[in-house]
Chain A
Amino acid sequence: MAVTKALYQEVILDHNRKPRNYGTLENASHKAEGHNPLCGDHISVTLAMDGECIGAIAFQGESCAICKASASMMSAAVKGKTRTEADALTAEFRDMATGKLDPAGPHHLGRLAVFAGVRDLPTRVKCAILPWHTLHAALNSVARTSTEAEDDPMHAPIGGA
Chain B
Amino acid sequence: MTAAVLRSRLAAFDVERLRADFPILGLEVNGRPLVYLDNAASGQMPRAVIERLVRYQSTQHANINRAVHHLSEIATGEYEEARRKLQRFINAREDREVIFTSGTTESINLVMQGYGRKFIGPGDEIILTTLEHHSNIVPWQMLAQEKGAKIRVVPVDDDGELLIDEYEGLFNERTRLVGVTQVSNALGNVNPVGRMIAFAHARGVPVLVDGAQAAPHMRVDVQELDCDFYAFSGHKMCGPTGIGVLYGKAELLEKMQPFKGGGDMILSVTFDKTVYNVIPHKFEAGTPPIAAAIGLGAAVDYLSAIGMDAIAAHELELLTYATGKLNGMPGVRIIGTAQQKASVLSFVVDGVHPHDVGTLLNQEGIAVRTGHHCAQPVMQRFGLAATSRASFAFYNTLAEVDALVAGIRAVQKVFA
Contacts and interface: CB of A to CB of B under 8 A. Distances in A.
B324 interface: no
A65 B351 CA distance: 9
B328 interface: no
Contacts of A13: 414-415
A41 B415 contact: no
A1 B385 contact: no
Given A65-B356, A124-B355, A38 B371 contact: yes
Interface stretch (B106-114, B259-267, B331-339, B359-367): B359-367
B268 interface: no
A40 B359 contact: no
Contacts of B355: 39, 41, 64, 66, 123-124, 127
A42 B353 CA distance: 12
B370 interface: yes
Q: Is the interface of A mostly helix, strand, loop or mixed?
A: mixed
A34 to B, nearest CB: 14
Interface residues of B, number: 19
B169 interface: no
Given A8-B360, A62-B385, A64-B353, A1 B31 contact: yes
A39 B386 contact: yes
A38 B385 CA distance: 10
Contacts of A5: 363
Interface residues of A, number: 20
Nearest to A16: B415
Contacts of B354: 39, 64
A67 B362 CA distance: 18
Interface string A38-66: 11111000000000000000000011111
Which of A40, A41, A62 counts the most B-chain CB atoms under 10 A from its CB?
Answer: A40
B362 A40 contact: no
B67 to A, nearest CB: 44
B386 A4 contact: no
B352 interface: yes
B30 interface: yes
A121 B359 contact: yes
A29 B140 CA distance: 42
Contact of A4 (B353, B363, B379, B385): B363
Contacts of A63: 353
B355 to A, nearest CB: 4
B31 A4 contact: no
B52 interface: no
B372 interface: yes
Contacts of A66: 355-356
Interface string B376-414: 000100000110000000000000000000000000001
Contacts of B360: 4, 8
B364 to A, nearest CB: 9
Contacts, number: 49
Contact of B372 (A16, A40, A123, A124): A40
A8 B413 CA distance: 12
Contacts of A64: 353-356
B415 A65 contact: yes
Nearest to A7: B359
Interface string A105-122: 000000000000000010
A39 B414 contact: no
B353 A1 contact: no
Contacts of A65: 352-353, 356, 415
Nearest to A42: B385
A66 B370 CA distance: 15
Interface in B171-208: none
A8 B385 contact: no
A117 B120 CA distance: 53
Contact of B30 (A1, A16, A42): A1
A9 B316 CA distance: 38
Contact of A124 (B359, B363, B386): B359
Interface string B1-35: 00000000000000000000000000000110000
Contact of B371 (A4, A39, A42): A39
A127 B355 CA distance: 9
A38 B354 CA distance: 12
A64 B359 CA distance: 11
Given A4-B359, A8-B414, A40-B385, 8 more contacts: A1-B30, A1-B31, A1-B363, A39-B371, A62-B385, A65-B415, A66-B355, A124-B355
9 contacts: A1-B31, A4-B30, A4-B363, A41-B385, A63-B353, A64-B353, A64-B355, A124-B355, A127-B355
In the A-B complex, the 5 residue pairs with the smallest Cβ-Cβ separation, listed nearest first, are A40-B385, A64-B353, A64-B355, A1-B30, A4-B363
